[in-house]
Amino acid sequence: MNDTLRCHILITGATGGIGGALARLLARPDTRLSFVARDAARLQRLVDALAGFAYSATAISADLGDPDSAALIAAEARRRHGPIDILVNNAAVNGFGHLEDLAPREIQRVFATNLMAPVLLTRAVVPEMIARKRGQIVNIGSIFGSIGFAGFSAYSSGKFALRGFSEALRRELDGSGVAVTYVAPRYTKTALNSPAVNDMALATGMAMDEPADVARQIVAAIESRRAELVIGRAERVFVRLNALWPKLVDRGLVRTTRRIREIVKPAA
């Protein structure tokens, strides 16, 4: 780990699969960590589990779905550890199913957690980064933020928007000293994926990563202040193909879409 990471890092969704692996990698001497998630007991277990390392950590229990939470989280993290140097917008929820089967509240929850929370949290921390001429916003997206998949209309569109937000913000902050990094993992073995999503991934032969491997790649992207990283060689090609020839990808996904349809709505 290089010296750029010896600072105050705020990680949302720190108790999850990828967030937990990130927290373990970043728990080093001189690193001040602020962890955010809803479940206070799980947050405290994470802090306790990492207590053997010479670093300081704060657990902030908050619901990112609440638009007022961003300012409160930023204020609490700042109070405990000083200005935030790196914000990792990692928390997200899934929302697998056909659009007509998703309740309006569920759709709202997906956009509030996966898109609005990163935007509002960034807004809460970026002024002091600009003033200090240093900092980094790290948005954890998804391969589904570049390729729209059947069964993931809410999740995919939220991640597309998060990627657009990252690109626009990167250009807006150019020359300010504040970097913006967007990382798109592919399928990763975590609790984000329901049994139905696991079935879909297995049935369609998706590559599956361990959270620790994904976290290592995120850390490398942060250290190099990389603008964008899509995890997986085949996925990088697929993303480019989809941008250039979406109709080709439509055809390539016909079998996958059929399989997803069967998993979402098994024949009666």
Annotated catalytic residues are 155
Task: Report the residue from 5, 8, 11, 15 that binds ligand NAP according to the rule CB under 6 A.
Answer: 15
Q: Does 93 bind ligand NAP (CB under 6 A)?
A: yes
Q: Does 234 bind ligand NAP (CB under 6 A)?
A: no
Q: Does 154 bind ligand NAP (CB under 6 A)?
A: no
Residue 71's contacts (CB-CB under 8 Å, 6 or more residues apart) are: 120, 124
Q: Residue-wise over 29-64: b if at least 16 C-beta within 10 A, else e?
A: eebbbbbbbbeeebbeebbeebeeeebbbbbbbbeb
Region binding ligand NAP by CB under 6 A among candidate stretches 51-59, 74-82, 184-192, 218-226 = 184-192
Task: Report the residue from 7, 11, 17, 59 that binds ligand NAP according to the rule CB under 6 A.
Answer: 17
Nearest in space to 73 (alpha carbons), one of 36, 122, 103, 42: 36
Q: Does 59 bind ligand NAP (CB under 6 A)?
A: no
- 185: its two tokens: 């993992």
Q: Does 113 bind ligand NAP (CB under 6 A)?
A: yes
Q: Does 166 bind ligand NAP (CB under 6 A)?
A: no
Q: Does 23 bind ligand NAP (CB under 6 A)?
A: no
Which residue has 């509002």 as its token pair? 120
Region binding ligand NAP by CB under 6 A among candidate stretches 2-10, 33-41, 124-132, 249-257 = 33-41
Region binding ligand NAP by CB under 6 A among candidate stretches 24-32, 57-65, 130-138, 246-254 = 57-65
103 exposed, middle or buried (CB, 10 Å; 0-12, 13-18, 19+)? exposed
Residue number, 109 or 134, with CB nearest to ligand NAP: 109
Distance CA(63)–CA(246), nearest Å, equals 36
Region binding ligand NAP by CB under 6 A among candidate stretches 14-22, 79-87, 233-241, 243-251 = 14-22
Q: Does 90 bind ligand NAP (CB under 6 A)?
A: yes
Q: Does 193 bind ligand NAP (CB under 6 A)?
A: yes
Q: Beta strands 178-184 and 135-140: pairing type?
A: parallel
Q: Does 63 bind ligand NAP (CB under 6 A)?
A: yes
209 DSSP 8-state letter = B
Backbone φ and ψ of 28, nearest 5° = -135, 165
Nearest in space to 210 (alpha carbons), one of 234, 231, 189, 183: 189
CB of 142 to ligand NAP, least distance (A): 4
Site residues (vs ligand NAP, CB under 6 A): 12-19, 36-39, 42, 63-65, 90-93, 113, 140, 142, 185, 187-188, 190-193
